[in-house]
Amino acid sequence: MSAASSIECCSVGVAFGRNDFAVSDLTLHVGGGEIISLIGPSGCGKTTLLRAIAGLQPMTVGRVEMNPPADTSRGQIGFVFQQPSLLPWATALENVQLPLDIIGRGQPQERRRAALDALRSVKLADAGEKRPHELSGGMQMRTSIARALVTDPSVLLLDEPFAALDDMLRGELGELLLSLWDQRRFTAVMVTHNIAESILLSRRIAVMRGGILESVLENPIPWPRDQSQMRTAEFAAFFGVVSDHLRGAVDNPGRTPDGV
């Protein structure tokens, strides 16, 4: 099992064109083995920051450091996209095995065994020979998560992975993600628009707005987490706190955000 990497975003800026910054002077620490959510309105720079952390988006200024170092090309960073993005002609097993084939890790039999184990971990042990069109939306997303985890990454990055699913499936896959994290203890950064999802899944919630880090909120909901906690007074109270930050009701832009 890979050691979970901490992530340091140091004065990160990403510009598209002259002085058009999607992310501006952003500093954030993510502890090894922590799950943190990036939340904020559309266009605030969440996905741009996530792609910069992954090394998929060049930074204009600043840097991202991981300790121990992690690299996408060696399978140490897993990425779950908003859409499952499965190869339509390949089986679920072949889709999950693909990252191992690309980085050339192990012998063919070892890759197949690892892919089967990954499918089993997301409760798709019997779906390996099905193609994407034979899978439901939830099963496709489970396959995508298995593909991201098959290389045993130390960092998992998720870009609104459950946005297209109904509330019931969203909750089920959220609990599945928590179960996988509990087993593997990878570091995870997740982009979401969903306040309840960010509270259920994260230790801290980073609120972004206009390309800057507005605040970092410590999540008081106790571990272990499950959906039953969403009905508690404590959950409802913290939901209100996050909502207030999103609306800018407690803005204080001249202050360095807490928790960075």
Q: Name the E strands within the chain.
A: 6-15, 21-30, 35-39, 61-67, 77-80, 155-159, 187-192, 204-209, 212-218
Section 97-121 average pLDDT = 93
Nearest to 120 by CA among 137, 153, 90, 96: 96
Q: What rounded mean pLDDT belongs to the chain?
A: 90
Structural domains in the chain plus CATH codes: 8-70+154-247 (3.40.50.300), 86-152 (no CATH)
**Residue for token pair 């089967």:** 116
Q: What is the pLDDT of residue 192?
A: 94
Report d(CA 227, CA 27) in Å as an integer.
31
- pLDDT tens digit sequence for 53-92: 999 999 999 999 999 888 776 789 999 999 999 999 999 9
- pLDDT tens digit sequence for 240-257: 999 999 987 345 443 444
User: pTM to 2 decimals?
Assistant: 0.91
Q: What is the pLDDT of residue 234?
A: 96
Percent of the chain with pLDDT over 90: 75
pLDDT of 123 over the 70 cut: yes
- pLDDT tens digit sequence for 145-204: 999 999 999 999 999 998 888 888 888 899 999 999 999 999 999 999 999 999 999 999
